[in-house]
Each structure stands twice: as C-alpha cells, then as structure tokens.
Structure 1
C-alpha cells in the first residue's frame, strides 16, 4: 500500500480534495475498465479489496502497480461487506487529508462519466451529500426495480421528508468529516444495508441531500453479491431500527420538514 498525493486537486478551492473509493469483491472482469475510466478525471482512486479471490486480487495488484501514483490498494483479509469496505476507504481518506469521497461500484453499473458533474456539485455544496438516483436502461431486473420502492417509502417515513429521492444507489459524494463523526457514534450497516443506513443517519445529523440523476445498468460482469435471505433480513432490521430512531427524533425532524416547506413557500412567493 502506498499513500496517494492528497494535493492532486483540479479544483480552484484548495480545501476541496476529493478522492474516489471503489469497494471490490470478485469483480476481476470489470474492475480494470472502471479504474481506467475513473482515472480520466484526475481523482485519486482508493481500491478496497474486500476479501476477494486470488484471481481478483491479482488483477487489483496489477492495477495498483500500473497506476501507483494514482491508485492505492487496501485489503480486508476476509469479506466484511460492501459497507465495511467503503468505511475502510473513509478512514484512509480522513487520515490522508481528503475532504470528500466519491463512492462508485466495481461492477461497471455506474456511469463513471458523471463523476465530473457530481464533484462539481460537491464543490458547490461542500456540506451536503450528493446522492445519485438511478436512471435505468432496459437491463434493470424488474423485480429489483419495483422492490426499491419499499425502501423508498420507509426512507420517506424515517426522515419525515421526500428529501432523499433514492437511498440505495451507491454512486454518491460524501463530505468526509461528518461521516467520520457518525462512525464514531454509530455502527453503520456493513453490507447491502449500508447505503440507506448511512444516508438516513447523515440526514438526521442535519446534512442536506442534493439529488443527482445518473444512468445505471446491470451489471458489466454479471456478478451480483446480493444474498436474498441474508440481505433482505439485514435491510428489514435496519428499517426497524431507523423507524424507532425516527420516533426519538420526531420533534426535530418535524421542525426541519416544516421549516423546509416554509422556506420553499417564501421563495415561491418572492419569485
């Protein structure tokens, strides 16, 4: 493992230092293309190998050696889950002076060309989460598409708002410091419950969410690590915990929602 240059920053704001984190688990057929596409944006790339097979580990080693000035490789000895891999990336980002972290999946389903637009939004809204919402092509499994709406409804309930358009898309930019603070107080979901859990909790912490559309396909290498029984059980348990967490925060969340509504009405009347 080698440290990346945290001063690599195409932005005019010296305090805006983004990096890209890619959690990887046995995506040896897609990861090289994803990394090469990411590096076109001059953003340092952190690969987190979440206990992959030897075949995938070899590909990751080759990528790190080929792009040693731009790519750092972190490893989990055993598979811990997508969320755990992203959080390992957050710890590295915080320790090395990055202000923002862009998360992208390793299987090629995300439109890497949108990185520039997402980073521009993050620089314009440095205290917000820039959350992607998927614009699907015909490759999306219909069952997965419709099932997402169950989580959407729970998220709207658990935030008492429609501020989060989609909580499950793993293409997003976070400010690093608030996530590190959240990690110190709460255990965040480590597997497929991660994306929703962290976004709702950051909203509870007062962060704004800027929703950005991004094209999504399923997937480049045909590998899915969603385990129906295990991951649905984890997601269900997460929603239950978040619901009771919402009840504890009910007055504050109601006040925030009412305040946002009044602000929009004032702006509309003024315009």
Structure 2
C-alpha cells in the first residue's frame, strides 16, 4: 500500500497549517487541492507547499469539495499512490486517531475505511441530530447497516475501484460527494470498514455549507440514490439472502 493524504482546501487559512503539521509528524505525503481559495489562503498554501512531501494543485475557481477530492485522487494515482486518505482542512478530525485507521487500511487494502464521528461537547445539536436523516436514507438505499456514517470527511479510498467508479457514474461535486460516493462504492461491491474518529467543531470556526443550495443538492442526491436503489433492488436483495445463507452454513 502506497498512500497519500488528499486535503481539499477552500479558505481555511487559519486551520490548514496545524492540520498539515500534525500529518507531517506522521511522515505522510500530502496533496493539497486549493479549490479556488482567496489570496490569503492561497498564500498560506504556497508556503506549505515548500515543505518536503507536499504537493499543491489548484482549481482556478471554486468547484466544490467533491470536485477537489476527485482532483486530488486523480493526481495521487498519477503520482503512483494506491490509496488516498481524505481529510478535511478545518481541523475537526483528531489526527492522533490516524495510526489506527492507517493500520486498518493495511489490513484491508481492498476496502474503504470510513470513519464515523465521536463528538465532543462542541458539536452543534442541530448537526448531530440532522445527520440521522441521511443515515436512515443511506441504510434504505443500501438495504443494510453496512455504512455507519456517510457524512464524515475522513476516510481511506483504494484508488483503482474508486477512480473507476468516478469515471462511469455521476458523483456530486459539493457537499453531496461524501455520501454519494460511499453508497455507490457499496453498490459496486467495495466493502466498507467503519471505524471511529474523535471530532470537534471546528478549529477556525468557518463552515462553507450553504443552507439552501447544499440542502437542495443533498435532496437531489438522495433522490438519485433512491432511484438507483430501485434499479439495483434484485442485486441488493440477493446480497441479503446470500449473506443469510452464508451465516447458516457457518
């Protein structure tokens, strides 16, 4: 396994330096994707890119978190990496938890390692409870509880099946990305390994979630996934029946 960290960055100049510093302590190569940031953040990223093990690429304008992650994953593959560790740039994920997550990726190199959040007291109640709507819809659209949390922005992707999926399927480019790609990877037969990560909200207090537009995008994404689930219903039911048969044989 050859892994690079992919960080989509949009105007998180106050947090990104600390995130990168902690990652460098783990001696992980980092790909920064500047998703059309303002000059102040762009200058911070230029400075970070001078450090060993850092790669910086840019979008001329803001295209969205999902677009930035996909750009980073494509670049990682071009540079010879087999896996991409996606992490957000706002410092909300506890990087001290990464060694365990990296160990899981080495143990299950063909699987997606998907973190689910363990919150501290800083989490807004509205976000905590609002996530359960997406959780229930994801469980419906996979007919399973295989995905514990589809919204956490920390996970490790095996690049070959992930990039193959991106090449053939519609994946949301913005805040709809994390959920949609994980459900579609599950449909494609890529196993999901769930693991906890400690989360606090957020280091620099900046959120780029657009209440109206991103909620509309997420609603459209769930509609696409529901229709996709109906098309795949025989396959998903077969998985359930086949799994039960395997349990009886065990």
Q: TM-score, normalised by structure 1?
A: 0.90
Correspondence for 2:70 among 43, 68, 87 = 87
Query: CA, structure 1 residues 71+265, in 2 after alignment: closer, same or farther (shift >3 Å)?
Result: farther
Correspondence for 2:146 among 124, 144, 163 = 163
Correspondence for 2:4 among 15, 19, 22 = 19
**CA RMSD of the aligned region, Å?**
1.0
The 3-state SS of whatever aligns with 1:263 is: helix
- Aligned residue for 1:248? 231
- Aligned residue for 1:208? 191
Alpha-carbon distance in 1 for matches of 2:207, 2:178: 16
Deviation at 1:265, TM superposition (A): 5.1
2:220 aligned with 1:237: yes
Deviation at 1:164, TM superposition (A): 0.2
- Aligned residue for 2:176? 193
2:128 aligned with 1:182: no
Deviation at 1:250, TM superposition (A): 0.5
Q: TM-score, normalised by structure 2?
A: 0.98
- Aligned residue for 2:39? 54
- Aligned residue for 2:15? 30
The unaligned stretches of length 5 or more in structure 2 are none
- Aligned residue for 1:104? 87
- Aligned residue for 2:109? 126
**Which shows bigger deviation, 114-123 or 258-267?**
258-267
- Aligned residue for 1:5? none
Alpha-carbon distance in 1 for matches of 2:41, 2:111: 34
Deviation at 1:97, TM superposition (A): 1.1
Query: CA, structure 1 residues 142+266, in 2 after alignment: closer, same or farther (shift >3 Å)?
Result: farther
Alpha-carbon distance in 1 for matches of 2:160, 2:216: 30
**Which shows bigger deviation, 78-87 or 107-116?**
107-116
Alpha-carbon distance in 2 for matches of 1:43, 1:264: 39
The unaligned stretches of length 5 or more in structure 1 are 1-15
Deviation at 1:39, TM superposition (A): 1.1
Alpha-carbon distance in 2 for matches of 1:172, 1:111: 13
2:96 aligned with 1:113: yes
Aligned length: 250
Deviation at 1:260, TM superposition (A): 2.8
- Aligned residue for 2:127? 144
Alpha-carbon distance in 2 for matches of 1:220, 1:35: 13
Query: CA, structure 1 residues 219+264, in 2 after alignment: closer, same or farther (shift >3 Å)?
Result: farther
